[in-house]
Amino acid sequence: MVTVLDSRRRFLKSTAALCVPLVGLSSPRVWGAVRELPALEEVKFDRSEPGLARAALLAAPASVNIDGKLVKAITYNNAFPGPLMRWREGETVQLKLINRLDRDTNLHFHGVSLPPTGRADNIWLHVPPGDTFDYEFTVPKGEGGLHWYHPHINGATAQPMFAGLAGPILIEGDYEFERELDCDDRVCVLKDISLEGGKVQPHRASEWTVGKEGELLLINGVSRPTIRAKKSLVRLRLLNASNARYWRLRFSDDRPMIVLAHDGRYLRAPQPVDEVLLVPGARAEILVELSDGRPVDVVYHPTGRRGMAYTATQSIMTLAPPSVLTATRMPSHLVSYDPFRIAEAQADREVVLGLFNICTRFLEEARVDIRTQVNAKEIWRVRNADFMDHPFHLHTWHYEILDINGQPPPYSARYDMTNVRVGFTVRIGIHFKQHTGRTMYHCHLAEHSDKGMMAVLEVV
Site residues (vs Cu ion, CB under 5 A): 390, 443, 445, 448
Report the nearest approach of ligand C2O to the CB of residue 161 (Å): 9
Main-chain dihedrals φ then ψ at residue 446, nearest 5 degrees: -60, -35
Partner whose footprint covers residue 445, from ligand C2O, Cu ion, none (CB < 5 to 8 Å by kind): Cu ion
Partner whose footprint covers residue 448, from ligand C2O, Cu ion, none (CB < 5 to 8 Å by kind): Cu ion
Closer CB to ligand C2O, residue 65 or residue 242?
242
Radius of gyration, alpha carbons of the chain:
21
List residues binding ligand C2O (CB under 6 A): 108, 110, 150, 152, 281, 393, 395, 440, 442, 444
Partner whose footprint covers residue 160, from Cu ion, ligand C2O, none (CB < 5 to 8 Å by kind): none
Report the nearest approach of ligand C2O to the CB of residue 169 (Å): 11
Partner whose footprint covers residue 281, from ligand C2O, Cu ion, none (CB < 5 to 8 Å by kind): ligand C2O
Partner whose footprint covers residue 390, from ligand C2O, Cu ion, none (CB < 5 to 8 Å by kind): Cu ion
Q: Is residue 181 a contact partner of residue 235, using CB atoms and an 8 Å limit?
A: yes
Partner whose footprint covers residue 108, from Cu ion, ligand C2O, none (CB < 5 to 8 Å by kind): ligand C2O
Closer CB to ligand C2O, residue 270 or residue 391?
391
Partner whose footprint covers residue 442, from ligand C2O, Cu ion, none (CB < 5 to 8 Å by kind): ligand C2O
Distance of CA 137 to the CA centre of its chain: 21
Residue type, 196: E
Report the nearest approach of ligand C2O to the CB of residue 110 (Å): 4
Alpha-carbon span 240 to 225, nearest angstrom: 16
Sign of CA dihedral 198, 76, 214, 440: negative
Report the nearest approach of ligand C2O to the CB of residue 415 (Å): 13
Closer CB to ligand C2O, residue 152 or residue 305?
152
Report the nearest approach of ligand C2O to the CB of residue 111 (Å): 8
Main-chain dihedrals φ then ψ at residue 21, nearest 5 degrees: -75, -25
Alpha-carbon span 127 to 148, nearest angstrom: 19
Closer CB to ligand C2O, residue 123 or residue 183?
123
Closest alpha carbon to 150 in 213, 269, 284, 241: 241
Closest alpha carbon to 146 in 439, 434, 416, 440: 416
Closer CB to Cu ion, residue 266 or residue 392?
392
Whether the link from the prior residue into 280 is cis, omega within 30° of 0, is no
Closest alpha carbon to 393 in 338, 459, 443: 443
Alpha-carbon span 426 to 384, nearest angstrom: 9
- Residues composing the chain: 460
Closer CB to ligand C2O, residue 108 or residue 237?
108
Closer CB to Cu ion, residue 325 or residue 422?
422
Residue nearest to ligand C2O (CB): 110
Q: Is residue 248 a contact partner of residue 419, using CB atoms and an 8 Å limit?
A: no
